[in-house]
Chains A and B, each alone.
Chain A
């Protein structure tokens, strides 16, 4: 056989395979540092606690709260329906299904928002979507949702509406004014008694 024919016999089938393979399979998604910085700077990953509280009260099935603190902290207290994925285990294979999906809204939370934001950056860097961060973390949650402070008499109406909502949400979510006020300083441990018994009936799904 002539060399040219032999060469054609080898490389044409290879070329056909390459042409037939879906293009996006040959490319690995990854955000450049610039793109990530822009997204992080825009702050679109943050979801306000009021929105989360509303979703919790409505029992919105698309909400998936993810606690990125340590298992001990998660045991001590967690938000209703939250699952625990400690930041150090975030990239392990067993959680890929939970983090890389487009059906539910994943919301990371930690005591502040730093650890949760780290989790968001990591998953974003992997190219995962639908992951968000609870703005202000549990500290803000306790200080403002579970122990909402009545606005001063001169406040605009929106403030009162917000206060009313927070108060009713707090009641629905089992927050107690006194306990939570204490919790604002050292969020999870101090807050244990009031919410934990009710919230921790079942860590849904996941681990």
Chain B
């Protein structure tokens, strides 16, 4: 029964090898769906192209449905699945910083690498900026530490804090996602942009 690595079904090294291949596949899908164009990512903020929203939310929904069904069939123990711990302040601040960076740069870390891989100079510059940011944060970490660690919430699940079953929350999230997709498609018709 999964998850594979914590249960020792595959070794840590096999895990990295699988991650390597999955990462390559991910990059290939990103590139072949046109994500290495910075206009694609910027488009979501202006409403003319919402593919990013649709792709990533569909990914999340697919993953959620898959995990819940696999848990239902007894194939995976959800308690052993790693969940990122929540630090509320840094989640909010990080979200704002990331969002601003996405609009200004037109890339997210993944798409900047696919952009660089097909020779886009703006992608390479974005990667450079990414590393500058990483080093700047690492070397000034003591300045941020207090804020970084503030409001630690553990590993809460929204379904738990709402007091509902995972499955019921899953259904609600599916409905919310579909509603969001409908709004996104409306936005694409409302703010069309030629030739981007």
Contact = CB atoms under 8 A, between A and B. Distances in A.
B145 interface: no
B166 A26 contact: yes
Contact of A28 (B79, B165, B166, B170): B79
B185 A4 contact: yes
A21 B69 CA distance: 10
Contact of A8 (B69, B178, B185): B178
Contacts of A17: 167
Given A11-B65, A18-B167, A19-B168, A28 B74 contact: yes
Contacts of B72: 18, 21, 25-26
A4 B69 contact: no
B90 interface: no
A30 B185 contact: no
A96 to B, nearest CB: 15
A156 interface: no
Contacts of B181: 4, 7
Given A4-B182, A28-B74, A23 B174 contact: no
A33 interface: no
Nearest to A14: B65
B86 interface: no
Contacts of B58: 7
Given A18-B65, A30-B79, A23 B166 contact: yes
Given A4-B181, A15-B65, A18-B65, A23 B78 contact: no
B63 to A, nearest CB: 12
The bracket for how many chain A residues form the interface is 10 to 19
B52 to A, nearest CB: 16
A15 B71 contact: no
B71 A26 contact: yes
Contacts of A20: 167
B18 interface: no
A198 B178 CA distance: 72
A207 interface: no
Contact of B79 (A8, A12, A21, A27): A27
A4 B165 CA distance: 26
Interface in A1-58: 4, 7-8, 11-12, 14-21, 23, 25-28, 30
Contact of A12 (B71, B77, B175): B175
Nearest to B1: A28
Contacts of A18: 65, 68-69, 72, 166-168, 170-171
A25 B165 CA distance: 11
In this complex, the member of B168, B174, B175, B185 whose beta carbon has the largest number of chain A beta carbons within 10 angstroms is B174
Nearest to B65: A14
6 contacts: A18-B65, A21-B72, A23-B165, A26-B71, A26-B78, A28-B77
* Nearest 10 CB-CB pairings of A with B: A18-B167, A15-B171, A23-B165, A19-B171, A15-B174, A19-B168, A19-B167, A26-B71, A18-B170, A18-B68
Interface of A: 4, 7-8, 11-12, 14-21, 23, 25-28, 30
